[in-house]
A and B are shown apart, each in its own frame.
Chain A
Amino acid sequence: MSIRRFSAALQARNLEFLRDRTALGWNFIMPVLIVMGFAFFFSTGQEELYKVALTGQAELDAPIQNFLKTRYMDFIPVDDLETAISKVDRHQLDLLVDMDKQRYWVNSTSPKGYLLEQILSPYGLTRETVSGREIRYVDWLIPGVLGMNIMFSALFGVGYVIVRYRKNGVLKRLRATPLSAFEFLSAQIVSRMLMIVVVTVMVYAGTNLVVDFRMNGSYWLLMLILILGALSMISVGLLIAARITSEEAANGLLNLLSWPMMLLSGVWFSLEGSHPLVQNLSLALPLTHMIDAARAVMIEGAGLTDVGEQLIALLLFSVIFVIIGSKTFRWE
Chain B
Amino acid sequence: MIEVEHLSKNYAGVVAVNDISFTIPRGICFGLLGPNGAGKTTTVEMLEGIKTPSAGTIRYKGKALGQQFRDEAGIMFQHTALQEFIRVEEVLKMFQQFYSHPRPIDELVEICVLDEFLDRDTRKLSGGQKQRLLLAIALINNPEVVFLDEPTTGLDPQSRRNLWAQVKKIKAENKTLVLTTHYMEEAYELCDEIIIIDRGEIISQGNPKTLLSDHFDNAVITLPAASLPDDFEPDAEASLHCQDGQIEILTSDIDVTIRHLLSRQISLHQLQVRSPTLEDLFLELTGHHLRA
Give chain A interface residues in 1-47, CB to chain B under 8 Å. Answer: 4-5, 7-9, 11-13, 15-16, 19-20
A19 to B84, CA, bound (A): 9
* Interfacial chain B residues near A16, Cβ < 8 Å: 83-86
A8 with B94, Cβ < 8 A, contacts A20-B85, A176-B48 known: yes
Interface residues on A, range: 20 to 34
Nearest-CB distance from B94 to chain A (Å)? 5
* Interfacial chain A residues near B98, Cβ < 8 Å: 5, 8, 177-179
- In the assembled complex, 13 residue pairs joining A and B whose CB atoms fall closer than 8 Å, in A order, are A4-B97, A7-B97, A8-B95, A8-B98, A12-B83, A15-B86, A15-B90, A16-B84, A170-B81, A175-B50, A176-B48, A179-B98, A332-B50
Give chain A interface residues in 287-332, CB to chain B under 8 Å. Answer: 332
Contact with A along B121-149 (1 / 0, CB 8 A): 00000000000000001000000000000
Give chain A interface residues in 143-174, CB to chain B under 8 Å. Answer: 165, 168-170, 172-173
Contact with B along A172-195 (1 / 0, CB 8 A): 110111110000000000000000
Nearest-CB distance from A245 to chain B (Å)? 13
Flag if A168 contacts B81 (CB, 8 Å).
yes
Closest Cβ neighbor of A4 among chain B residues: B97
Q: Is B288 engaged at the interface, CB distance under 8 Å to the other chain?
A: no
Within 8 Å by CB of B83, from A170, A178, A179, lies A170
A16 to B87, CA, bound (A): 10
Nearest-CB distance from A312 to chain B (Å)? 36
A169 to B49, CA, bound (A): 16
Nearest-CB distance from A5 to chain B (Å)? 5
* Interfacial chain B residues near A179, Cβ < 8 Å: 98
* Interfacial chain A residues near B77, Cβ < 8 Å: 169, 172-173, 176
* Interfacial chain B residues near A169, Cβ < 8 Å: 77, 79-81
A173 to B93, CA, bound (A): 15
Nearest-CB distance from B162 to chain A (Å)? 22
* Interfacial chain A residues near B73, Cβ < 8 Å: 176
* Interfacial chain B residues near A165, Cβ < 8 Å: 83
Nearest-CB distance from B174 to chain A (Å)? 22
Flag if A173 contacts B97 (CB, 8 Å).
no
Within 8 Å by CB of B94, from A9, A168, A176, A178, lies A9
A19 to B86, CA, bound (A): 8
A12 with B94, Cβ < 8 A, contacts A176-B48, A176-B50, A176-B75 known: yes
A219 to B227, CA, bound (A): 89
Give chain B interface residues in 135-171, CB to chain A under 8 Å. Answer: 137
Within 8 Å by CB of A13, from B50, B70, B71, B83, lies B83
> Max chain A CB contacts within 10 Å: which of B73, B82, B83?
B83
Q: Is B22 engaged at the interface, CB distance under 8 Å to the other chain?
A: no
Contact with A along B90-106 (1 / 0, CB 8 A): 11011111110000000
A170 to B94, CA, bound (A): 13
A11 with B94, Cβ < 8 A, contacts A16-B86, A178-B70 known: yes
Contact with A along B204-231 (1 / 0, CB 8 A): 0000000000000000000000000000
Nearest-CB distance from B137 to chain A (Å)? 7
Give chain A interface residues in 127-147, CB to chain B under 8 Å. Answer: none
A16 to B91, CA, bound (A): 11
A175 to B86, CA, bound (A): 19
A12 with B81, Cβ < 8 A, contacts A5-B98, A175-B50, A176-B75 known: no
Flag if A20 contacts B79 (CB, 8 Å).
no
Q: Which 9 A-B pairs have the closest CB atoms?
A: A8-B97, A19-B85, A169-B80, A168-B81, A177-B98, A173-B80, A176-B75, A8-B94, A16-B85
Nearest-CB distance from A21 to chain B (Å)? 9
Nearest-CB distance from A165 to chain B (Å)? 8
* Interfacial chain A residues near B93, Cβ < 8 Å: 8
Flag if A170 contacts B82 (CB, 8 Å).
yes
Flag if B99 contacts A178 (CB, 8 Å).
yes
Closest Cβ neighbor of A168 among chain B residues: B81
Flag if A178 contacts B71 (CB, 8 Å).
yes
A178 to B75, CA, bound (A): 12
Nearest-CB distance from B78 to chain A (Å)? 9
Contacts A8-B95, A12-B86, A178-B70 aside, 14 further interface pairs with beta carbons under 8 A come to: A8-B97, A8-B98, A12-B90, A16-B84, A16-B85, A169-B77, A170-B80, A172-B79, A176-B48, A176-B49, A176-B70, A176-B73, A178-B71, A178-B99
